Amino acid sequence: MEHKVSDAEFYKIFSILSVIIIVLAIFIAILSNVFAGYSSSGEDNYKSELQSLTDQRTQPSGRTNLASNPSVKQAQKPVVVASKKLSGQEVYNAACMSCHASGAAGAPMTGNKDQWSERVSKGKDTLYASAINGIGVMPAKGGISTLSDDEVKSAVDYLISEIN
Expressed in angstroms, the distance from the first to the final Cα of the chain is 134
Among candidate residues 93, 65, 79, 80, the one with its CA nearest the CA of residue 151: 93
For the chain, domain boundaries: 7-49, 88-161
- The pLDDT score that the predictor gives to residue 2 is 66
The pLDDT value recorded for residue 103 is 81
Q: pLDDT tens digit string along 87-115?
A: 888 888 888 888 888 887 788 888 888 88
31-83: pLDDT as tens digits: 888 877 666 666 777 888 888 888 888 877 665 555 555 555 555 555 454 56
The answer on pLDDT for 119 being more than 80 is yes
Class of the CATH-defined domain 88-161 = mainly alpha
